[in-house]
Structures are given as structure tokens and as C-alpha cells.
Structure 1
């Protein structure tokens, strides 16, 4: 599973972003002798100061809209935690935020359990203090947290009489300084709006996928299910389950349904405007690009006063439009503004 090979780097971004990783290595090697004399030392100290200014420069704020649609029960769940630094006091230099959407099926218990417990597990496993290879450690932390949450729910579900058969997708966004880590399983999605300058000189919003869909019709997913002894009929596991990875769904775990998420990393830049996290209820009636352009147009038209008011209005209108277009499923949309 390729962690970081699928997202393009920001184009024409400032040198402070490109040079951040080498600078971190320089910080860890403080005992190294200076080779360039006083001038190099002054430049290095200036870079350190600029680096400290850059930390925490990105501000993320989440807005949510939820619609039950034509379903009898709201089985989606969501979490908005724009500031985790209070909970992770051992990492004072890292600005952490966490947003997540969970699309339940067969009931709301798996999605609610994941909403209540996944971030708590993530915080407890998060690397403490100054560490090397932070990307690798964050990936491991996310993988372990998903596995632990799934195991804990399945243990609780199997102890019930009768046993719970609920399951849930999950799409989670973890922000560490100006880097986004997105972990997802199932068919909920995360997409980023990035502004790119065209040859004409005008700026155009570009949609970048931050997640990967998991359903049994995908070749790799189908092969894993079949190797485990399961079958795929009518695009579903055993002709029933629409996703090939999930939290819960204990009766399908023996058929190759797993709780291992795909994890992607995205370096933010001043060109980035917002992220949409949403369950498949939105994407049944919107393409990712349509959803991004729908939100961008509302943010641009200026009909709502105040930046937060614009984002709130865009989020609510997007969810309502999904229902208007005929989506009968639950619809949950999280719109995350990005400010430098």
C-alpha cells in the first residue's frame, strides 16, 4: 500500500515548505560543527525563526450538515475537533485537528462507536515528543487505531444477545501542522479544492482526491475476498454488503472484509481552500468535481456576509441539494475551511 505516492505536490509554493524536512534534520543535528562561519549560522537561525512562525500558520475550521433523507434512521455519525493540542500536551509544537465522517449500515451502533472511540485511540497511540520519521509513525498510528477500534467494536458486538451486525465506513482527516493525513475505508470520501493558475493568468479550482473507495467490484478487493472464501455477486460481498472494508460487519470479516484503511498524506499550501468529507449519500448524486465547484461558487458569490457564514451556507446548501437531486440515503457533509 503506497502511502504518499498518489497526491501531487503543491506547485509554485514557497521555499519554506519545500525545505522544511531538511531543516528538521538540521535541528536534530545541533551538535554538528558550523562549516560556514558566522554568516551561515545567522542564516540558519533565521530559517529556524521562520520555521517557528510557519508552525500553526494553517487554521482549519469545520462545518457540518446532516440529512436523514428517506431513511427511517440516521445511521451516519461525525466528529469535529478543530484543536487537539489540548488533549496532546506532549506535542506543544504540533497543531493537531481531527475531522471524521462515519456512514453506518445495518444500524447506527458501529458508526457511533467509531465516532466516540477512534480519535481517543488515535490520541493514545500518537507518537510523543520530538521524533524522526513522523510520516511513518503517523501512518502506523492510524493503521493501529483503525484495527483497535474494529476489534473493540466486534468484541462488544459479539457479546450482545443477539449479536450486533452493524458496520460502518470511516473517513478521517488528521492535521499535523500544515500536513493532512487522511485515512479511509469504505465508500465515504475526502476531496480537496486547490487553486491553480491557468495559462490565461486566471485561477481555476482543481479537485484532488484524498481518499480511495473500497468496494467489491475493484479488482484487488474482489481478489482478496475470493481468496478468503467469499464471493461477489451483484457488486456486493455475498450479494449483500456494498463495501469491501469497514469497521464492524463481524459476519463478513471471515469473507475478506478488512478494517485496514488507505492512508494518504497531503502537504497544504496557500493555494488550498477547503476539504469536503462526506458519506456516499452525497457522491451518489454529485461527482467530486461537481461538489467542489458547487461549494466554490457559493463562496465566491458573496451573498452571505462573513467568511464563516459563507462556509456554513455552502455546507448546508450542498447537503440539501443532494436530497433535492433525489438521494434517498443519509447525507452527511463536513466542509473544512483552510486559512493561512
Structure 2
């Protein structure tokens, strides 16, 4: 997401006058006088998973997130799919991705061959290219993160561009399923510079705080570079994990959650509530409420749109069985990701 820095610049790049800073100032630099705390909540389940989701506008002027949860995919009834799309500069790209990305993945030739990881990669790129050619989408200045989890053949496949994040609880241990794409990361910086861009104040060309995204087409106009080599690319990282009986749940959430809490705190928060047999959708609501800032004088933390999808593994049993698992003490917690912005006052019990 883009955050208010108190000053704005205009850039001329690749023959385009960048209105990103103007859009950023208008859309992201202002907040409401009171947060919108109405939550859009839903749930679904089958024999394999029990799922809850919720989203909340919060302090932002507009709601720009989208999310998806499907217990089956078109032409593939033996798979589940979940996605979180955190839009910036508008909701149009996020909504388009939420409605269409799974179709581009499952209809990809690699999917029919059983190469799900490559189907995810090509599906992301295909959708981005499709939008650039679409008359209704090609001139969009907006963009979105895209974080998806696909469950198939007893495996988790997680594809990600941006800084929305997926984390699994494995017997209470934190297992990272995605990695944030920030311009200051060494590999991201090298690609940005090689494509003709720069990193300033940890932002792409001083504006965008993400180095990978769907949309943001103004950063994808170097005709000498492949799609995966552009200043901002839609090429995802894909993580694949074998599901075993210790897997308890996966949470997908936008950075409005992860800016406030560390991975371990979120897993602890959710696990304690599953142990109390609280429904997944209610847990999602409580997590967003816990992360919501009491005011917007906290440097932006807790002031963003928030979206959470909680996928609980049943392993052929019941939700009560999962509650019993989560009531046991967690084994040693490990995480490949770290965030220092947790709120000390949050009740995690």
C-alpha cells in the first residue's frame, strides 16, 4: 500500500506524466474522522476445510480490498482456492483479480498437466497481460497485491505478489507461506534499477511501497524487458507445502493486519479462539477489531482497510476435533518472517 509521507513529487517517466502522486495524495493521504467498522462476513465448509472471512473499510475513505473463497474450482472439483487482493489507487484491479485470477490459473495448460506451481505463475502473468489489453482496464493507474492459496492433492500452493501475507499454524508453529515484496529488498531493487526505475524512501520511483503487483501499468512499459523483469512485476513467488495432520489452519490477510501484529501473535490469537470453539468468521472479525487503531495518530498502523480469510483444516474430522488440537500447548514457534510493529496492548489470550 501507499502511505502518507507529508510531501509529494511528480515524475516524468517513459513519456508518461505520472499522476500516481496526485492519486496517492487524494486516495491514501486522507482518512475519515471516524472509522467504518461494519464488517462484510461470510463462511463456508466441506469435509476438508471450514472457512471464515471478513473485511472492513476502517479509517480509509474507500474500501479497496477484495477477497475470494471457493471450495471447488471450475473444471476441478477436487481443489479449494482462497485469495486476498489489497488494492491501491482504487478497487477496480483488485475486484477484477478477485473475480478472474482463479480462472486463468485453472485454465492454464500447466494446471491440466499437474504442474500447479507453474500454473500459478503463468496465471498471474496471463491475467496482468489480459488487463493491459482490455479497453476497460488498460488505462487504470491502480494496482493490487494478489495472495492466493490453492489446496490440491494434499498440498498447499501459495502464490503472492505484494505484501499481503499467508501464514500456516502447524501444531502451533508459525510456517510462512509467502514473503513480502518490498522495493528495499536486494533482489527487488536490482530488478527495479535494471528496468530503469529507482528506489527512494523505500518506494518504487518514490511512490509505490510494493515491488510486485497486478496492475500499476505505468511501471510496466519497458518494451526491452520481459513481464517478470519490469520495474513492478506481476510474476509471483510460489511456495509449495505438503499438508500433514499437524496443519491446523492457514490465514490470508492484507497488510492492514501484518503492519500491526507479528506472525506469531496472529497465530496465537487465532489458535486460542479456535480452542474456545469460536467460529472462524467471528475470529476474523475479532482480529480486525483488535488491529483497528483507536485514532490515526499512530503512523498509519491500524488505519488501513482490513481483510482476513481463515482456512481451518478438518482432516476428515470435526471443528470440535480441531478445537481440541488447538487447546494443546504449541510446540516451538518458528517463522521465516518478522515484523516489529506489534501492539503491546493487544489481548492475545
TM-score, scaled relative to structure 1 = 0.71
**Post-superposition CA distance 1:21-73 (Å, at most 9, x none):** xxxxxxxxxxxxxxxxxxxxxxxxxxxxxxxxxxxx97123211101011111
Q: Equivalent of 1:170, from 132, 146, 157?
A: 146
> When you count helix as a share of all residues, which structure comes out higher?
1
Q: In structure 2, what is the Cα distance between the partners aligned to 1:159 and 1:230?
A: 23
Match of 1:182 among 149, 158, 167: 158
Unpaired runs of 5+ in structure 2? 1-45, 222-229, 295-300, 316-349
SS at the partner of 2:58? coil
2:35 aligned with 1:68: no
Distance change >3 Å, CA 338–CA 287, structure 1 → 2: same
Q: What is aligned with 1:149?
A: 127
* Aligned with residue 235 of structure 1, among 202, 211, 225: 202
Matched with 1:82 is 71
CA deviation after TM superposition for structure 1 residue 212, in Å: 1.2
Q: Equivalent of 2:215, from 248, 251, 267? A: 248
Name which of 291, 295, 302 aligns with 2:266.
291
| Contact kept in structure 1, 2:87 and 2:144, CA below 8 Å | yes
Residue 79 to residue 314, structure 1, CA distance change in 2 (3 Å): same
Alignment of 1:95-134 (within 5 A): 95-125=78-108, 127=110, 134=114
CA contact (8 A) 2:167 2:174 kept: yes
* Correspondence 1:334 to 2:309: yes
Structure 1 counterpart SS, 2:190: helix
Deviation at 1:314, TM superposition (A): 1.2
Aligned twin of 2:188: 221
Instruction: Check whether the contact 1:230–1:256 (CA below 8 A) recurs between aligned residues.
Output: yes
Deviations 1:212-249 (Å, cap 9, x if unpaired)?
A: 11010101101110111101000000100010000000
Q: Cα deviations across residues 136-172 of structure 1 (Å, max 9, x unaligned)?
A: x212211111001111112236766xx3201000000
SS at match of 2:59: coil
CA distance in 2: counterparts of 1:290 and 1:224, whole angstroms: 33
Distance 1:138 1:286 in 2: 31
State the distance in 2 between where 1:62 and 1:317 align. Answer: 15
Using the TM superposition, give the Cα deviation of residue 312 of structure 1 relative to its aligned residue in structure 2, in angstroms: 2.1
Which of 162, 166, 169 is matched with 1:193 structurally? 169
Which protein is bigger by CA-based radius of gyration?
A: 1
Counterparts of 1:147 and 1:159 in 2: how far apart (Å)? 15
Partner of 2:177: 210
Is the contact made by 2:87 and 2:93 (CA closer than 8 Å) also made in structure 1? yes
Aligned to 1:312: 281
Deviation at 1:128, TM superposition (A): 6.7
| Superposed displacement of residue 127, structure 1 | 4.9
Closer, same or farther: CA 153–194 of 1 in aligned 2, 3 Å: same
SS in structure 1 at match of 2:234? coil
Aligned length: 256
Structure 1 residues 329 and 252: CA distance shift in structure 2, 3 A: same
Moved segments of 4+, more than 4 Å:
126-129, 157-160
User: Per the alignment, do residues 101 and 126 of structure 1 end up closer, same or farther by CA in structure 2, a change over 3 Å counting?
Assistant: farther
Contact 2:51 2:310 in 1 (8 A): yes
Q: C-alpha offsets along residues 287-319 of structure 1, whole Å, 9 cap, x if unaligned?
A: 1111111011111234x4xxxxx2222111011
Pick one of 243, 249, 257 that aligns with 1:268: 243
